[in-house]
């Protein structure tokens, strides 16, 4: 049973309040199977198909919700990557929000633990069934009777360990009214590799050039830096910290002359994922 609780985003002075402490990035990857599909585009995600999912969150993001059994972490999600067979990748998101519910009474008859991920900037390359994705939700939950305490969460904070959820749902919306819900059975998987992140980044950069939103010369420069990072991370013959820092600085400075802020934000999200995939900087 899917029971999406109401999002309680706090508005302060007419805008979302975001207060983030020193970044503490946590990444997790999952592999799983689609066990049920409902919606007009169900044929795009057949039952039994394999799904790959990974996300990176800033675990130091402040909880903006006043209640002790609920948490709201605005823009905590640095990146989300979802890949289905025949879709590479299906969904790429940066800057999403995470909401948690710990032992909340639902309809007076059940208790629920839930982690809800939603919002943020969806990369334009994200498609489902040939249509752009413009809204999404990822839901991890455990529902029990009132006399049984759910154990998926141990408080309203975002879990830093992989989420062991009996029920997982992914909702994808492509056009108004076209919502497809995938029920998933997930288990932890090996982290996203540096090579996978670099491939995603190159695909996105090529698309930005084709759209006229990023100059070809700048794109070649960024791709060259990506290749250097990949080589350093793969061969371990050169330190990866320097090339990674150079890439990060180049993307950070893009809005000044070479690209709109939205483009820089997308590329910055990919650099964040790349940083986490690399792990501890190596300077051998």
Residue 26's DSSP bridge partners are 57
HSE-CB at 114 with a 13 A cutoff on CA atoms is 26
Does any domain span residue 83? yes
Cis peptide before 188 (omega within 30 of 0): no
Q: Which of 157, 188, 219 is the last residue of a domain?
A: 188
**C-alpha–C-alpha distance, residues 275 and 243, integer Å:** 11
**C-alpha–C-alpha distance, residues 156 and 98, integer Å:** 11
**C-alpha–C-alpha distance, residues 40 and 29, integer Å:** 28
DSSP assignment of 197-259, as one string? HHHHHHHHHHHHHHTTSS-HHHHHHHHHHHHHHHHHHHH-SS-SHHHHHHHHHHHHTHHHHTS
> Within this chain, do residues 106 and 66 fall inside the same structural domain, yes or no?
yes
> Within this chain, do residues 216 and 168 fall inside the same structural domain, yes or no?
no
CB neighbour list of residue 256: distance below 8 Å, 6 or more residues apart: none
> Within this chain, do residues 97 and 229 fall inside the same structural domain, yes or no?
no
> Within this chain, do residues 153 and 200 fall inside the same structural domain, yes or no?
no
> Within this chain, do residues 170 and 215 fall inside the same structural domain, yes or no?
no
Predicted local confidence at residue 17, as pLDDT: 27
> Within this chain, do residues 77 and 152 fall inside the same structural domain, yes or no?
yes
Q: Extract the tokens encoding 31.
A: 């592999």
Q: Which of 188, 211, 239 is the last residue of a domain?
A: 188
Q: Extract the tokens encoding 59.
A: 């675990």
**C-alpha–C-alpha distance, residues 82 and 255, integer Å:** 28
Which is nearest to 203 in space by CA: 142, 126, 280? 126
> Within this chain, do residues 88 and 139 fall inside the same structural domain, yes or no?
yes
> Within this chain, do residues 30 and 144 fall inside the same structural domain, yes or no?
yes
48: phi then psi, degrees, rounded to nearest 5: 95, -15
Q: At 118, is the secondary structure helix, strand, or coil?
A: strand
> Within this chain, do residues 242 and 170 fall inside the same structural domain, yes or no?
no
CB neighbour list of residue 240: distance below 8 Å, 6 or more residues apart: 229, 232, 233, 278, 281, 282, 283
Predicted local confidence at residue 1, as pLDDT: 54
CB neighbour list of residue 118: distance below 8 Å, 6 or more residues apart: 7, 96, 97, 99, 136, 137, 138
User: pLDDT in tens for each of the 284 residues of the chain?
Assistant: 566 554 433 322 222 222 233 347 788 899 999 999 999 999 999 999 999 998 888 888 999 999 999 999 998 887 888 988 877 678 888 889 999 999 999 989 999 999 999 998 888 778 898 899 999 999 999 999 999 999 999 999 888 889 999 999 999 999 878 999 999 999 998 877 888 888 878 877 887 888 888 899 999 999 999 999 999 888 865 588 889 999 999 988 887 667 777 788 778 878 887 887 887 654 44
**C-alpha–C-alpha distance, residues 118 and 116, integer Å:** 7
- Which structural domain range is residue 34 located in? 11-188
Predicted local confidence at residue 10, as pLDDT: 31
Does any domain span residue 283? no
Tally of structural domains, the chain = 2
Threshold 0.85, pTM exceeds: no
**C-alpha–C-alpha distance, residues 52 and 190, integer Å:** 10
Q: Which of 165, 188, 211 is the last residue of a domain?
A: 188
Length of the chain: 284
Does any domain span residue 2? no
Does any domain span residue 5? no
């Amino acid at each position: 049973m899917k029971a999406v609780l109401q999002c309680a985003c706090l508005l302060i002075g007419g805008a979302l309040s975001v207060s983030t402490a020193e970044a503490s990035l946590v990444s997790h990857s999952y592999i799983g199977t689609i066990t049920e599909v409902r919606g007009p585009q169900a044929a795009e995600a057949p039952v039994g198909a394999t799904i790959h999912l990974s996300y990176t969150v800033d675990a130091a993001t402040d909880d903006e919700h006043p209640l002790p059994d609920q948490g709201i972490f605005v823009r905590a999600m640095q990146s989300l990557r979802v890949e289905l067979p025949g879709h590479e990748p299906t969904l790429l998101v940066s800057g999403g929000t995470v909401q948690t519910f710990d032992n909340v009474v639902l309809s007076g008859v059940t208790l629920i633990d839930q982690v809800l991920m939603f919002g943020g900037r969806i990369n334009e390359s994200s498609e489902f069934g040939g249509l752009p994705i413009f809204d999404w939700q990822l839901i991890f939950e455990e529902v029990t009777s009132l006399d049984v305490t759910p154990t998926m969460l141990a408080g309203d904070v975002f879990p830093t360990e992989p989420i062991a959820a009996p029920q997982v749902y992914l909702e994808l919306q492509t056009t108004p009214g076209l919502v497809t819900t995938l029920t998933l059975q997930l288990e932890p998987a090996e982290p996203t590799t540096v090579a996978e992140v670099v491939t995603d980044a190159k695909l996105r950069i090529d698309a930005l050039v084709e759209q006229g939103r990023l100059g070809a010369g700048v794109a070649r420069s960024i791709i060259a830096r990506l290749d250097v990072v990949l080589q350093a991370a793969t061969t371990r013959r050169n330190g990866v910290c320097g090339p990674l820092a150079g890439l990060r600085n180049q993307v950070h400075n893009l809005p000044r002359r070479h690209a709109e802020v939205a483009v820089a934000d997308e590329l910055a999200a990919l650099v964040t994922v790349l940083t986490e995939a690399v792990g501890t900087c190596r300077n051998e």
